[in-house]
Every structure is written in structure tokens, then in C-alpha cells.
A and B are shown apart, each in its own frame.
Chain A
Amino acid sequence: MLTSVAVPIAQEHKMLLFDPTGTSAKFFSPHNPYLVLTSLPTSGVWPTVLADFLISHKINKVAVIYSANDFNQSQAETLKSKLEAAKIKPVYYHAVPTDTSNYTVLIRTIEATHPKALIEFGYPTNDIAFLQNLQASGAKFNMVFTIFPGQQLALIEKNVGTKALEYTYTYPTPPLLVYNKVNYGMPMSEFEKIYTQTTKRPVDFLTVAGYNAGLIIQKTLATSKEFNQLALRNAINTFSGKLFTLNGLFKINNEGAQIGEFLPVGQFQPTKTGIVLHVVYPQNIATGKPIYPAP
């Protein structure tokens, strides 16, 4: 929300904006050199791996419900176009207002289309309401995907309970996705240890994104030969694609959008002590196999 306001202000005043997590595709354009996204790819490319997962597992009846905003719409559109390219037409594809807090009837409507996978793109509030309503409705789907359990697990788990997350899928991000081989800053294990000791709080994705933004700014200031905005931007180009942090590869395109990181597909699988997230796709980084259909 804040990024949408900050982007035009920064551009108008010719000030370089370091954007930690504002990924909406509409923020980025070739005409704006004053924006650098430090964590997460732009939202439009988030579902790329998810689409590949659905296609490779021959899940050909897909329902997509998304909140009507740039962030979620761009993901829904990408997913739809990739599925349609593989000759899979979603059996349900609808936007709902972003402030939707009750999905009970919507879930029932989707259930009537008998999908093999239900994908919900929303903000954390949408995901919480959706997962709560899904559990209360008693409806069962072979596969359920939501975005924010992979980024703000503690918040979502506290609100919906562990049971509601069992067998659901998400995009895992650090610290659920661990990058210990870094060439700049602390690796995840060390950061997690120091952060938890210092603040007495658990690390979540936003914490990692904040630290990562600090690293990028630090590297920029250390690299730039002059202290003006375009020199800072050019300095970023010199290390883009070469920097590995606890958030993965930092690489931006000519619009300032992050393209180094990618979001795999993960599934929360129950254990005796709770749930554990396994990366289930792509196979080269998988830590477990998907349990599909969900029991």
C-alpha cells in the first residue's frame, strides 16, 4: 500500500527508492530509473513455478479466486495464461473485492465446479478469512493454495490454527526457505540466531526482507563512486546478479524489478509436533514429495 504512494513521489523528486517488498507489477516501468526492489520478484512472475507444478502433475481442473487489486490480479492473470497455454482452462476464475472477509458461500460455489486444485490469491487478511471459512465449511479439495502462510506463518497459524494449514500449499520464502551459502551479509542460520537472541522474537519473511534491504543499501553506498541518485542506481547494476544474501540471488532488470529470486511451491505436511513445510517443486530443490490429493 505504501509503495504505491512512494513510487510516484520518488520519481517526481528524482530520489532513488529502495523498495523492500512492494512487488506489484504496475510499479515498474522502463521510464522510471528511481526504483529498486530488494526482495521478492514482481508479483506477475510469482505463480510461474506454481503453474509448472499444476501442469506437470496433470492437475487440469483448477479454480482461481483472487482479490481485486494489482498484486493479486497480476498473479491470477499470469497463472491463467500459463495454464491456458497448456490447454487448461480454469473451471472457476473470479475476482472478489479485496475487503472480502467471508468466503463461505464462495467456497461452496467453487466446490460445485469440482476442481482438483483451488488457488486463492489475496492479502494476509484474505488468506486468514479464506482458510478459516474453508475449515468451518467442511469442504474438501485435493489441493488448496494460499500466498501468505509462506511469508507470515506465525500470524496465519495464530489466526487459523495449525489444522487449517495441513496439506495446503504456498510459496515458501526465507526463513522457510533457507539460504546459508551467501557472499554478502549473514547466512540465515546466523541471522536467525542473533535476531532471536536480540529481539526475543521469531524471524519471519518481513524481518529477512528488512535486513536484506539494509544489505543492498549498504552495498550500494560502498560501491557508488558519487553520492547522487543515478550514480547509486548505476552502482546497483554493477553487483546485480552477483550478490547472494540470505534472501537468495539479488538481481534486478532494467526497470529495477527483482528477478534473481524465484518462489518455489511448498506444502505444509503434518508431523507429530505440528506442521512442517516441504518444498515440493521444482524437483531440483525439493525437500519432500507433495501429498496429493490431500487426505
Chain B
Amino acid sequence: MELFFYALISGILYGIFFALVGIGLNLIFGVMRMVNLAHGDFIMLGAFGAWLAYSKLNMNPLLAIPIEIFIFMIIGFGVYYAFVPRLSKSRDPEMLSFILFFGIAQIIEALAIFAFGNNQKSIPFSTLGKGSISILSQSIPFSWVVSAAISLLMIGFVYYYLYFTRTGYATRAIMSSPEEASSVGIDVSKISAFAMGIGLSLAAIAGVLAPFMIGSIDPSIGASLTTTSFAIVVIGSLGKPIGTILGGIIYGLAMMFMQTYLASWTNLVPYVILILILLVKPSGLLGKKVRNA
């Protein structure tokens, strides 16, 4: 029973982190209807930013968060204005976005190998606090608790932004229907660029926490993080950022219970859940049925 509770608590903490990993991808998809296949590579860049801050500048990696938010917001605006308006005018923007962002992912990975090499890098867990903390009599690494708390804070920020700010209302209006949002005077392009910036910044923050939750980092981790993010987003519901929290927690719990009771099969978890969800509820757990008039 002790193992069950340990897996439960670890799974929730791990899941909260993975909700943060996926939420930026879902926000971008919700607003632009484009799948950012370079999402995991932006997370990887965020992770290397934290590593640089720690190993080269002797900074606490958490202090890299505000700097990375600023840098990735600018990158987000750049990526949006360079590619998205042109893609939107094409005949099949969703498919073309797959190809475009796949290419961007490859470029980012190649440049990261040039910059950082292929060796694994890591940050000592103790930089987020030494030892462990007792939760429901279970001894949980302190770095996990800190990482999950920051993830929760960022998810809370997304929730606040979407549901309690004017820009957030506009973002949700675009998610619902870009044409109707435009007809009532919302600057779709500007709000979308802002959403892209937020999406990439969230990826970067997840990257800062990644060395503490997923272990060591290297330039090739982007692809698997994109796949996992995509699975989490689909489980929760594509285009619904808040559904990603549910998707993340389901993923985290499934991973930890599998590691506890059936370790060899752990890697199958995201894909098995994804297939099950697609079979049972294709619109995702929080998705609504689409009514075709």
C-alpha cells in the first residue's frame, strides 16, 4: 500500500509538470490551429538555458525563468510574423504547419548539437533544495515538489490569463472562431502572436524544470518531448489548454504506476492511453461533440 501511495503522489507531481510541458502546445494549437512540432525542441532550448545559467553563470536555474520568458516571447513573435500569416493563407495550413515546424525542429536540434555537443548535461537536484519532503508520510524529492509548484503556478497564470483578462477573452474568442472574433474588432494577428509568445515561454519554463523532472538533457530530447506533449494534449482535448492539466495528470499517474508495478512496459504508456482515448472519446476527455449543421 505504501508503494501505491508513493506512486500516486509522485504521479500527480510528475503529471503537473507534464501538464506544463503540454499546455503551450495546446494554446498555440487552440489559437492558430497549427501543431508546433518543434515544441519539444523549444523545451530543450529552455533546459539548456537553465544549464547555461547554472554552469556558466553560477546562477540558480530558477533565476533563468524571467530571462527566458522575455527571450522566448520575442522568439514567439518572430516565429509568428515570419511564418504563420503566410501559412494561414495556404490551402491546407494544418498540414503545412506540420512540415514547417518539423523542419524548424530539425534546425534547432542541429544547432543545439553544434552549440552544446551530444553529451548529456544535468543540474544537481540540490540546486532546488536538498533532500526530501514528507507528503502523506511519503518521502518525496524536494526538487520534484518545487518543480510541480512552479508548474502549477504557471498553469494558474494561463488560467487567469484566459479567463480573467481582456486579452485572454480575445484569445478564447479566436479559439472559438477567428472569423467571428475578427468581425467584432479583435486584432486576430496581434493576439495570435501574443499567444505564440506565451506558448513558447511556457515551453521554456518547462525546459528550466526539465533537468529536475526528467533527468539529464541533450539536444535530442526534443522529439520525444513533442510526442509526449502531443499525447497529453490529445488526451485532455486538442485546443483546450485547461484539458491539458487532466491529460498531464493521467499521463504522470500512468507512468508512475507502470514503473512501480510493470517497469519494463513504461514507455508504452502515453501511446496506449492515446489510442484508448482516440477509440473511446476522439475529441479528448474534455472535448465536446462537434455538431455538423
How many residues in B have their beta carbons less than 8 Å from beta carbons of A? Answer: 33
Task: Flag if A135 contacts B266 (CB, 8 Å).
Answer: no
Instruction: Give CA–CA (A83, B171) in the complex, Å.
Output: 63
Residues of B with C-beta under 8 A to A137: 132, 139, 141
> Beyond A94-B263, A102-B214, is A124–B3 a contact (Cβ under 8 Å)?
no
Task: Flag if B132 contacts A106 (CB, 8 Å).
Answer: no
Task: Flag if B10 contacts A105 (CB, 8 Å).
Answer: yes
Segment at the interface with A among B38-46, B71-79, B97-105, B117-125 = B117-125
Residue A270 is within 8 A (CB to CB) of chain B in the complex: no
What mask results when residues 103 to 143 of chain A are scored 1 for a CB within 8 Å of chain B, else 0? 01110110010000000000011001100110111100000
Residue A96 is within 8 A (CB to CB) of chain B in the complex: yes
Instruction: Give CA–CA (A132, B122) in the complex, Å.
Output: 9
Out of A96, A100, A101, A160, name the residue touching B124 (CB < 8 Å): A160
Residue B208 is within 8 A (CB to CB) of chain A in the complex: no
Residue B224 is within 8 A (CB to CB) of chain A in the complex: yes
Residues of A with C-beta under 8 A to B142: 136
SS of A interface (majority) = helix
Q: Can you name the residue of chain A whose Cβ is closest to the Cβ of B220?
A: A99
> Beyond A99-B224, A109-B259, A129-B215, is A104–B120 a contact (Cβ under 8 Å)?
no
Residues of A with C-beta under 8 A to B125: 132-133, 135-136
Instruction: Give CA–CA (A104, B230) in the complex, Å.
Output: 24
A83 to chain B, nearest CB (A): 20
Q: Can you name the residue of chain B whose Cβ is closest to the Cβ of A126?
A: B215
> Beyond A105-B10, A137-B139, is A159–B264 a contact (Cβ under 8 Å)?
no
Out of B124, B132, B215, B259, name the residue touching A138 (CB < 8 Å): B132
Residues of A with C-beta under 8 A to B120: 124-125, 128, 159
Task: Flag if B216 contacts A138 (CB, 8 Å).
Answer: no
B228 to chain A, nearest CB (A): 11
Task: Flag if A106 contacts B124 (CB, 8 Å).
Answer: no
> Beyond A105-B10, A108-B3, A135-B125, is A96–B215 a contact (Cβ under 8 Å)?
no
> Beyond A136-B143, A159-B120, is A106–B131 a contact (Cβ under 8 Å)?
no
Out of B6, B122, B215, B216, name the residue touching A108 (CB < 8 Å): B6
Residue B251 is within 8 A (CB to CB) of chain A in the complex: no
Residue A95 is within 8 A (CB to CB) of chain B in the complex: yes
Instruction: Give CA–CA (A106, B218) in the complex, Å.
Output: 23
Task: Flag if A136 contacts B141 (CB, 8 Å).
Answer: yes
Residues facing A in B252-283 (CB within 8 A) are: 256, 259-260, 263-264, 266-267
Residue A68 is within 8 A (CB to CB) of chain B in the complex: yes
Out of A68, A105, A124, A129, name the residue touching B260 (CB < 8 Å): A105
Task: Flag if B10 contacts A138 (CB, 8 Å).
Answer: no
Residues of B with C-beta under 8 A to A100: 266
Out of B131, B215, B256, name the residue touching A105 (CB < 8 Å): B256
Out of A97, A99, A105, A128, name the residue touching B122 (CB < 8 Å): A128
Residue B7 is within 8 A (CB to CB) of chain A in the complex: yes
Instruction: Give CA–CA (A96, B260) in the complex, Å.
Output: 11
> Beyond A136-B141, A137-B139, is A109–B266 a contact (Cβ under 8 Å)?
no
Binding site for A on B (CB under 8 A): 2-3, 6-7, 10, 14, 119-122, 124-126, 131-132, 139, 141-144, 213-216, 218, 224, 256, 259-260, 263-264, 266-267
- What are 7 residue pairs bridging A and B, where the CB atoms are less than 8 Å apart in the complex? A101-B216, A102-B214, A105-B256, A109-B3, A112-B2, A125-B218, A159-B120
